[in-house]
Amino acid sequence: MTGDWSAFRDVGCHELDLAVHPDEARLAFFRGYLAREYSGPFVHGMGAYEILDMVRRFVCPGRRLDVGSGTASLFWILSADGDVTTTAADVESEALIVLRDFLQAPAPLPACYYEAAALFGVTAERVDELRGSIGPYLVFNALRTWPTTVTQGRYDSVTAFGCFGIAGSRAGYLDCFANAASAVRECGRIVGADWVRHPAKQRRDYSFLNATTLREIACDIGLRILYAHDLVITGDETYGGIVLWAFEAP
Ligand SMILES: C[S@@+](CC[C@H](N)C(=O)[O-])C[C@H]1O[C@@H](n2cnc3c(N)ncnc32)[C@H](O)[C@@H]1O
């Protein structure tokens, strides 16, 4: 989850194919991120099981918008029930280029994908099917007001793993959920997680990343709380916890 995100720039809103001149350094960064974080065997005790369990319970079948998707849009949907199709969105087109290349490559997926899926009784055939369920790819900044084309999307679910917490303040965090609420249909779901660094490793405000604040935010903007949970991680040198959340729009 480590990274320096160019979180606040204005990139407009466009489909990936309209992006020009990818930055080679950012491509290399995201390739490295994918290779480092989502390869090899499944790692237990880091919260991935709990996130996938939450996805299984709360992401609706149908159209999903995954914001701050980075290169992980497939991984976090492995446990989903029913047919889910994903629009993967990120502020950095290079992240989406790496994701698209990874999904469309002929190479088999890393073992952790099949292992994570198997924890939920999901077959390798279904994993390969889900691999084809991601796309289109959309570039926009999820930490500013969301573009009208997105908020008119009436998605069945919006997901965000490791993105909204980048907002850096409670007010910015609340705005992320308000934006997401405007992009889902009636009773649509908003599901995700944010990683919390150890105090000595924090370079921005993480004080609002907890289940108590999430419950307050849900009340403030009128979302039904399906799940809000603080999870402690032990043994990781950067992260001490994760806050997991799932809400339903009115
Ligand atoms: C911690 S990574 C998480 C990536 C992926 N969801 C995962 O679980 O591995 C944060 C992602 O959010 C993206 N991001 C950062 N700021 C963003 C913003 N303002 N709008 C949309 N995406 C953003 C980054 O480019 C990066 O891909």
pLDDT at 180: 98
What average pLDDT does the segment 184-206 reach? 96
Place 20 in a pLDDT band, splitting at 50, 70 and 90: confident
pLDDT at 46 over 80: yes
For range 228-238, the mean pLDDT = 95
Quick one: average pLDDT of 156-185? 97
Tokens 């997105």: give the residue: 150
Which three-class secondary structure state does DSSP give residue 125?
helix
With a CB cutoff of 8 Å and minimum separation 6, the contacts of 67 are: 89, 90, 142, 158, 159, 160, 163, 180
Mutate to test the pocket of ligand 1, among 1, 2, 5 (most ligand atoms within 8 A of CB): 5
**pLDDT on residue 65:** 98
Name the nearest CA neighbour of 249 among 228, 220, 218. Answer: 218
The dihedral built from the CA positions of residue 92, 137, 97 and 33, taken in this order, carries a sign that is positive
Closest CA to 244 of 46, 9, 108, 6: 46
Residues 6+ apart with CB under 8 A from 3: 29, 33
Structure tokens at 8: 């606040």
pLDDT of residue 41: 86
Q: What is the mean pLDDT of residues 62-87?
A: 97
Which residue type does 243 have? V
The arithmetic mean of pLDDT across residues 226-234, rounded, is 97
Cα-based angle 65, 68, 74 (whole degrees, multiple of 5): 65
Q: Is the Cβ–Cβ distance between 247 and 177 less than 8 Å?
A: yes
How far apart (Å, rounded) are the C-alpha atoms in residues 45 and 29? Answer: 26
Query: Is residue 73 in contact with ligand 1, taking CB distance under 6 Å?
Result: no
Ligand 1 pocket test, candidate residues 163, 191, 243, most atoms within 8 A of CB: 163
SS3 86: strand
Pairing relationship of beta strands 62-67 and 84-90 according to DSSP bridges? parallel
Q: What digits encode the pLDDT tens for the residues 99-119?
A: 999 999 999 999 999 999 999
User: Which protein residue has the closest C-alpha to ligand 1 atom 13?
Assistant: 68
pLDDT for 248 equals 98
- Is the beta carbon of 163 within 6 A of some atom in ligand 1? yes
195 CA: nearest ligand 1 atom: 1
- Answer yes or no: is the C-beta of 161 below 6 A from any ligand 1 atom: yes
- CA 71 to centroid of ligand 1, rounded, Å: 9
Return the best residue to mutate from 10, 166, 196 for the ligand 1 pocket (most ligand atoms within 8 A of CB): 166
- Check pocket membership of 142 for ligand 1, CB cut-off 6 A: yes
Q: Tell me, what's the pLDDT at 8?
A: 76
Task: Using the predicted structure, report yes or no on whether residue 123 has a pLDDT greater than 60.
Answer: yes
Whether 160 shows a pLDDT value over 80: the answer reads yes
- 13-248: which CATH architecture? 3-Layer(aba) Sandwich (3.40)
Cβ distance 102 to 131 under 8 Å? no
What pTM value is reported for the model? Answer: 0.97
pLDDT band at 73 (very low <50, low <70, confident <90, very high): very high
